[in-house]
Chain A
């Protein structure tokens, strides 16, 4: 019975080895390098651990006959001493070799993490309590892209991400792509990522930043260069005017209530910058920084009671009637 449970648990633990948010399944150059350090450390430290415990067991076993080894009356040496000296020398050499391997690997990987590679894509990520502002710098100002909580990257092209924070310290971490880098108010940090595998991943704030730190995540989509460019073009377009009657009402409600004070919808009067940009809200997979799936029910729940879903979030509950709420959600659903 106990054996069955142990086997099942071990099998379940293996599930953690692959997935959209794990450093054990690298999908980019930097994560692969970090994986090398991790595996080297595992091997070096594992071998040392086994050796130490092995020698300890051997010493305990040998100690049973220690009484017979009387020291030489003149030199004070026991018959075991020369052997002990030899093994201590070997032991010291082993430790030195292990440390040299660890230091070398960690130094080389550290250097490679600092190198971005040629022609990097420039992205600006700003941490806020508790969401991510993501800006892409185009060749022209009209090609700049402003979005939130969803990072798109082309596979194979290095990207340099400029990290800023508006309030407290956050930390940018996409385990499948790279290590962590802090976002610090008042200074700019950089992290380089070179994704290699197409897929969906997840990033998470890795520095405690207040009540909703755990619900400050973002989606990462690694695309082919062509798909990425198509996405960029879609993101630069303005929001289409709603045609459905309810959505038209929703736009009016949005622009006459508190929504408009914080959120921006490109192509309309809504130009607030303190909340996430909503121009292409429905193109994103999640809302509220990876907290809820992006569907009608979640949108309604979130707008009706943000504090119930993310207690402490900076989005206040805006008093709306049921009709107004339905209309606003209908409008938001047109923002594709």
Chain B
């Protein structure tokens, strides 16, 4: 075997070995960690309180759930199953406000969406505390956040888990969350 041929073979083997690294796109966490059973506490919804505005508590799980294709896709499934679709429709809104625009009345961060689902909001949004397990709330929050294109492009799934009327999540136009809303403005967003 000649020297160049050995070199070529070696290079091919090396490239193939490196390509194997691409197989593990993401970790599928099927079992929520025990830590995931507590929601963000002390979330502020209004500017009106004594002293300085409290910073929004950030939850490490927000990043974990928003950056994982499986969680976002599950969120889409649960969005249907828990009947979010009944009021918010496929994001366009109807009985409830639209979710696919960039306007966030109660904040567009993961922690804020989580809190809106768990605590409920005035004028019709029910509180889903205890009705939806917390890990699933996080997944729904990740999907709701992705509806306005505010999603990690590498994590966004390209197909839904079932037949849906909506386009692929990774194909949404990204819209900057608007900061005009008082709750969103004081929520300590780092954008």
The answer on a CB contact under 8 Å between B131 and A261 is yes
The answer on a CB contact under 8 Å between B31 and A307 is yes
Q: A52 interface residue, CB < 8 Å from B? A: no
Q: How far is the CB of B15 from chain A (nearest CB, A)?
A: 30
The answer on a CB contact under 8 Å between A307 and B30 is yes
A contacts with B: majority SS: loop
The answer on a CB contact under 8 Å between B162 and A185 is yes
- Residues from chain B with a CB closer than 8 A to the CB of A260 are 131
Q: A117 interface residue, CB < 8 Å from B? A: no
Q: How far is the CB of B3 from chain A (nearest CB, A)?
A: 47
- Residues from chain A with a CB closer than 8 A to the CB of B37 are 319
- Residues from chain A with a CB closer than 8 A to the CB of B22 are none
- Residues from chain A with a CB closer than 8 A to the CB of B31 are 307-308, 311, 317
The answer on a CB contact under 8 Å between B30 and A262 is no
Q: A109 interface residue, CB < 8 Å from B? A: no
In chain A, residues 298-320, which have Cβ atoms closer than 8 Å to a Cβ of chain B?
307-308, 311-312, 314, 316-319
Question: CA A166 – CA B80 in complex, angstroms?
Answer: 12
- Residues from chain B with a CB closer than 8 A to the CB of A262 are 81
Q: Given A274-B81, A307-B31: A316 and B130 within 8 A (CB)? A: no
Q: Given A262-B81, A314-B77, A317-B31: A186 and B163 within 8 A (CB)? A: yes
Stretch at the interface among B47-55, B98-106, B132-140: B132-140
Q: Given A261-B81, A311-B30, A316-B136: A167 and B162 within 8 A (CB)? A: yes
Among B28, B133, B161, B163, the residue within 8 A (CB) of A316 is B133
Tell me how many residues of A have a C-beta within 8 Å of chain B.
22
Minimal Cβ-Cβ distance residue in B for A313: B30
Question: CA A274 – CA B84 in complex, angstroms?
Answer: 14
Q: How far is the CB of A327 from chain B (nearest CB, A)?
A: 15
The answer on a CB contact under 8 Å between B162 and A168 is yes
The answer on a CB contact under 8 Å between A257 and B131 is yes
Among A167, A186, A274, A318, the residue within 8 A (CB) of B161 is A167
Chain B residues packing against A (C-beta within 8 Å) = 28, 30-32, 37, 77, 81-82, 130-136, 161-163
Chain A residues packing against B (C-beta within 8 Å) = 129, 166-168, 185-186, 256-258, 260-262, 274, 307-308, 311-312, 314, 316-319
> What would 12 more interface pairs be, CB under 8 Å, given A258-B131, A314-B77, A316-B32?
A129-B161, A168-B161, A186-B163, A258-B133, A261-B131, A311-B31, A312-B30, A316-B133, A316-B135, A316-B136, A319-B37, A319-B133
